[in-house]
Amino acid sequence: MSVTDSTPSAGFTPPTRFAVPGRIAVSNRAAATWQRATLTEVRRETPHAATFRFAVPDWEGHLPGQHLMLRLRAGDGYVAQRHYSIASPPDDTGHIELTLDHVDGGEVSGWFHTVAKPGDEVEVRGPLSGFFAWPGDRPALLVGAGSGVVPLMSMVRHHRARGLSVPLRLLVSARGPEELIYASEYGAETAPVFTRTAPEGVPVGRVSAAHVAALLADRPEGGWEAYVCGSNGFAEHASRLLVDAGQPVDRIRIERFG
Ligand SMILES: Cc1cc2nc3c(=O)[nH]c(=O)nc-3n(C[C@H](O)[C@H](O)[C@H](O)COP(=O)(O)OP(=O)(O)OC[C@H]3O[C@@H](n4cnc5c(N)ncnc54)[C@H](O)[C@@H]3O)c2cc1C
């Protein structure tokens, strides 16, 4: 279940402001400034989710786990804005990637999935929220369901890209194998939990106490920081299991999409 990288640590020393255990400072200027983002590529992940890659030349960078505000503007002046987690790692200079579920009847996700094409422009501002950020400086347990895996994948990609040696573990849940976002990026050691359909021989069910116990089986120096992301229901369920398994409540960070 663990996502580990055999590459030795590249010796990444996080800047001092990243070493704070609680909320990480965000730039007020970046958070308040709308920037133009040009769609450059669309990649299908599952029948209901796709990744949208944007060129954002003045993007100041982000930490894995952070999100942004995205704004669409119609010709008649109508504006819609939504939060989206950043899927790409921080080192992807001048580019960001978002992965969107196609929500039934959804205004913004519907536009992306049915209308958007490379060359289209939208506006973004961010990064936002220092609370769900993982600077790569502490052991992290990542627990996500559905599109809740998006900010967690930014963390996994950062871990791999930098060759970090700090322990990182990932538990993902999806309705079925065809709904598993980023399926090709999980190592053999990641055992996804399927809630509705599963390959033969694989049990169907929710994330359970046994899954969480396996995640917490050993305690690295300094303990684990848990990051939970998904719908309201999933976030409640997973965080309760973590607390029951002994994870301190003040070391569980939750991001809810629902
Ligand atoms: C911090 C944060 C990060 C987020 N990151 C992501 C991300 O990485 N990927 C992603 O796909 N979404 C993400 N979301 C959800 C996203 O902001 C939108 O809510 C979602 O895309 C739906 O917007 P829409 O305009 O398509 O639907 P709307 O037009 O707003 O809603 C249409 C219908 O769908 C329902 N609905 C709205 N949102 C959801 C939802 N998330 N799940 C199920 N039903 C819903 C509404 O109640 C309504 O009935 C994130 C939300 C937050 C708060």
Residue 154 near ligand 1, beta carbon < 6 Å: no
51 lines ligand 1 (CB under 6 A): no
Q: Which residues pair with 46 in a beta bridge?
A: 49
pLDDT at 27: 86
How many folded domains does the chain comprise?
2
258 close to ligand 1 (CB < 6 Angstrom): yes
pLDDT in tens, 90-148: 999 899 999 999 999 999 999 999 999 999 999 999 999 899 999 999 999 999 999 99
Q: Whole-angstrom distance between the N-terminal and C-terminal Cα of the chain?
A: 26
Q: How many whole angstroms from 68 Cα to the centroid of ligand 1?
A: 13
90 in any annotated domain: yes
Residues 124 and 211 in one domain: no
| Domain's final residue, options 106, 128, 150 | 128
Q: What is the mean pLDDT of the chain?
A: 90
Q: Are residues 144 and 64 in the same domain?
A: no
Q: Is residue 12 part of a domain?
A: no
Segments forming the whole domain that contains residue 74: 28-128
- Residue 232, in any domain of the structure: yes
- Rounded to two decimals, the pTM is 0.91
77, 100, 128 - which closes a domain = 128
Q: Are residues 177 and 99 in the same domain?
A: no
Choose which residue among 82, 113, 149, 155 to substitute to test ligand 1 binding: the one with the highest number of ligand atoms within 8 A of its C-beta.
82
Q: Express each pLDDT in 37-73 by its tens digit.
A: 999 999 999 999 999 999 999 999 999 999 999 999 9
- For ligand 1, the distance from its centroid to the CA atom of residue 20, given in whole angstroms, is 30
Residues 97 and 124 in one domain: yes
Residue 90 shares a structural domain with residue 120: yes
- Verify that 64 and 119 share a domain, yes or no: yes
Ligand 1 atom, smallest distance to 83 CA: 17
Residue 79 vs residue 13, higher pLDDT:
79
